[in-house]
A and B are shown apart, each in its own frame.
Chain A
Amino acid sequence: MAPAEESCRRCGYSLEVPDAQLGHGAVSVERLTDADGIFTQAERLSIRAVQQEFERRFPQLFLMVFAGALPAPASPRQFGFWLLNHAAIPDMDVLRPNECGLVLVVDPEAGAAGLTVGYFLESYLGQDELGGVLEAGRKAFAQGRYVTAVREVTRSLTRRLIQRTREAARDPAAFAPPAPPDARPFPAVKQLGEPVPLPKPAPATKPDGGGLVGNLGRRRDKG
């Protein structure tokens, strides 16, 4: 494993930001978390069956579903990011670490759904792919049929993962993980060489001294 990058080199965003809002410690959650109680028992069993079928098909992965209103500053993207890094599922086997997990966050009140994947699946499912997976459940989401939406999303997810598996078997290089980020801080200091000394003041040919302006920033030729 490559050394971890602690924060975004552009904006400085890191896990500390959602941790400050949602908490630092591990969170014990189930595969299906119905925070607001929007599902009936039968619907919970139905979603649980969908999750079990997904885990049976993909022994390396797991799918976690969170349904409920999110805290005010958190978005489904941020909450999924935070939850997947802090979730501790009690009955999850060790062969399925959190980086092999997917979190489907549904906020009925805000009208938003987010699908977040761990590091392991980033090579197979990019943001465009995840958007396509969520699109499969758009109609059901819009109609408030969340169980159907979860089923449609899982079906689309399964289909895409199987397709990516076959493509990876044919061309593994196409699914290689991205190169590790540069360890140097950002913005990197450009090595411009030795600073260019200012030339000696020449006899002014013009009263405004405009001749000095054209030499700024020029590198002195060596040799």
Chain B
Amino acid sequence: MKSVQANHRSLLVPLARIGMWFLILVPLMAVAQETSRPSEDPPVQSATGSETAPAAASPEEQRTKSEKDEELPQEFEPDRLIPFQQSQVELPRWQERERSEILNRLRPANQGGGLFPPQIWPMQPTPGLEPLSPDYGHSMNGQETAPAGVLSPEWAAVYFEKHPDQAFLDPQHLLDGPEAVEMESRVRRWLNGDIHFRTTLLVFGPGQKLPAGLDIDTLMRRWFENTSPGLLVFYYFQEPDRTQAVFSAGAARRFPVEQLDAVMTDCIRDARRTEGGTAQLQRFCYKAAVRLHQLAFPGSLGSGRREGSSGIPAWQCLLLVGVMAVMVAGPWLLFRRRRVATPHSPVFLPMQDFHPRLGAPHCGGCSAVLTFPPVRRKSG
């Protein structure tokens, strides 16, 4: 007990110091973890921004930009090294001419911008312009887009006659060709590839309605297996509020219905917050990929993150709270002990009568002795 009292103060001071370092390091670790974590925002947002930027620019800015666009790229010389400060140059700007060429399918999208000069990348892939697949061509008697209202039986047959091979079905070409290809790739990679959720996303036009005789349950049984989790999404372009998502029996058996409903609710809410039909669909797919990934792999990195949370794992929160408690309680205990031990006012002991003994007038020999090994004298 005596040793505990003697060492109590010496233990609290290191604890307070450790707590202070933890208080400094834990938020830094959390921030570092946040920065290293992949962002939830869609990786490609520049396309939307590039569409709106020229319209908002002033004439002077447009002239300056056109002059910059006309500038020829600097020739790369391998023998002359670029200084470090100049090596961190920005990526080349998106050129309207190349964009129009890509949209008109005169230039492959994977070479847009000419990022790598021939000295670095001598093997430039040959642009492969192939005819579009029949799924993306004109169909349905030259009618490209179905009218608003209930889908005609012809369009219903296109949508529901057989299970589409691709995960993203847009027979009405509501998205442009490259965007459709890109969206197909994303849906396949995000929703089907990484999550193992067999997802099929059908895109309908705004104002369109499903046929009255469509039996979704039968369609689900026909398209999806009973064991594997599957998801069928009826997405209405530019109207994400009307989205219908149906999970297969395997998904309903594996996950609670409330969680599945919450996933789709979040996806629709995120899509609704975004402007533009393409961006909405892109946001919907990305959010669905994130939430379904969290659902399928609870122990993964992104699973600990919830909407509205601070992003710090629970154990770090507990550790932070513990450290803060130690930091608050430690100085308080030290201050309390110091205040008890060293009062500012003089202390008077109650007077007691005493009885001399041993013939000694002042001291009766009450004492204690401590022995220690005799050592050479040190300073202090």
Interface residues of A (CB under 8 A from B): 1-2, 4-8, 13-16, 38, 40, 43, 56-61, 75-77, 80-81, 84-85, 97-99, 101, 108-128, 130-138, 141-148, 155-156, 158-159, 161-165, 168-169, 172, 175-178, 180-181
B128 CB within 8 Å of chain A: no
Cα–Cα, bound, A20→B360 (Å): 14
A180 to chain B minimum Cβ distance, whole angstroms, is 5
A124 touches B349 (CB 8 A): yes
Q: Are A142 and B367 in contact (CB under 8 A)?
A: no
| Complex: A191 Cα to B102 Cα, angstroms | 129
Give the CA-CA distance A153 to B358 in the complex, in Å: 28
Q: Provide the main secondary structure of the chain B interface.
A: loop
User: Which chain B residues (345-380) contact chain A, with CB distance < 8 Å?
Assistant: 346-380
**Are A101's CB and B362's CB within 8 A?**
yes
Instruction: Point out the residues of chain A lying under 8 angstroms from B356, CB to CB.
Output: 1-2, 4-5, 119
- Chain B residue with Cβ nearest A147: B380
Q: How far is the CA of A128 from the CA of B356 in the complex (A)?
A: 21
A101-B362, A118-B362 are known contacts. Are A113 and B369 too (CB-CB below 8 A)?
yes
Query: Are B346 and A38 closer than 8 Å at their CB atoms?
Result: no
Q: Is B132's beta carbon under 8 Å from chain A?
A: no
The answer to whether B352 and A176 touch across the interface, beta carbons within 8 angstroms, is yes
How far in angstroms is the closest Cβ of chain A from B135? 85
Known A122-B364, A127-B368; contact A178-B355, beta-carbon cutoff 8 A: yes
B372 x A141 contact (CB < 8 A) = yes
Contact indicator A148/B380 (Cβ below 8 Å): yes
Give the shortest distance, in Å, between A99 (CB) and chain B (any CB): 4
Q: How far is the CB of B159 from chain A (nearest CB, A)?
A: 85
**Residue B342 at the chain A interface, CB threshold 8 Å:** yes
CA distance A144 to B374 in the complex (A): 8
- Interface range, B side: 35 or more
Do A16 and B359 touch across chains, with their CB atoms under 8 A apart? yes
Q: How far is the CA of A116 from the CA of B365 in the complex (A)?
A: 7
Chain A proximity of B357: nearest CB distance (Å): 4
Q: Does B32 contact A (CB under 8 A)?
A: no
**A134-B368, A142-B372 known; A7 and B348 CB under 8 Å?**
no
- In the complex, the answer to whether B347 meets A144 with C-beta atoms within 8 Å is no
Give min CB distance, B350 to chain A, whole Å: 5
Closest 5 CB pairs of A and B: A130-B368, A111-B374, A98-B362, A119-B354, A116-B367
CB atoms of A38 and B371 under 8 A apart: no
> Can you name 17 extra interface pairs (CB under 8 A) apart from A113-B371, A126-B366?
A4-B361, A5-B358, A6-B358, A6-B359, A57-B342, A59-B346, A60-B348, A81-B365, A84-B362, A111-B375, A116-B366, A162-B341, A162-B347, A165-B348, A165-B350, A168-B349, A177-B355
Q: A6-B359, A81-B363, A119-B364 are in contact. Are A108 and B348 (CB under 8 A)?
A: no
How many Å lie between the Cα of A33 and that of B240 in the bound state? Answer: 93
B6 interfacial by beta-carbon distance below 8 Å: yes
Contact B370 A134 (CB under 8 A): yes
Residues from chain A with a CB closer than 8 A to the CB of B360 are 14-15, 81, 85
In the complex, chain B residues whose CB is within 8 Å of the CB of A4: 355-357, 359, 361
Which residues of A sit under 8 angstroms from B372, Cβ to Cβ? Answer: 111-113, 138, 141-142
- Chain B residues near A114 (CB-CB < 8 A): 367-370
CA distance in complex: A59, B348 (Å): 7
Which A residues are CB-close (under 8 A) to B341?
Answer: 155, 158-159, 162
Say whether B343 faces chain A, with CB atoms less than 8 Å apart: yes
Is the beta-carbon distance between A58 and B349 smaller than 8 angstroms? yes
Whether, in the assembled complex, B97 has its beta carbon less than 8 Å from a beta carbon of chain A, the answer is no
B348 near A130 (CB under 8 angstroms)?
A: no
Show 22 A/B contacts (Cβ-Cβ < 8 Å), sorted by A.
A1-B353, A2-B353, A5-B356, A5-B357, A7-B358, A14-B358, A56-B346, A75-B369, A111-B373, A113-B371, A114-B369, A121-B349, A121-B366, A137-B370, A141-B372, A142-B372, A158-B341, A169-B350, A172-B350, A175-B350, A181-B355, A181-B357
Which residues of chain A are near B379, meaning CB under 8 Å? 40, 43, 145
Smallest CB gap from A130: residue in B: B368
Name A119's contact: one of B340, B343, B362, B370 (CB within 8 Å).
B362
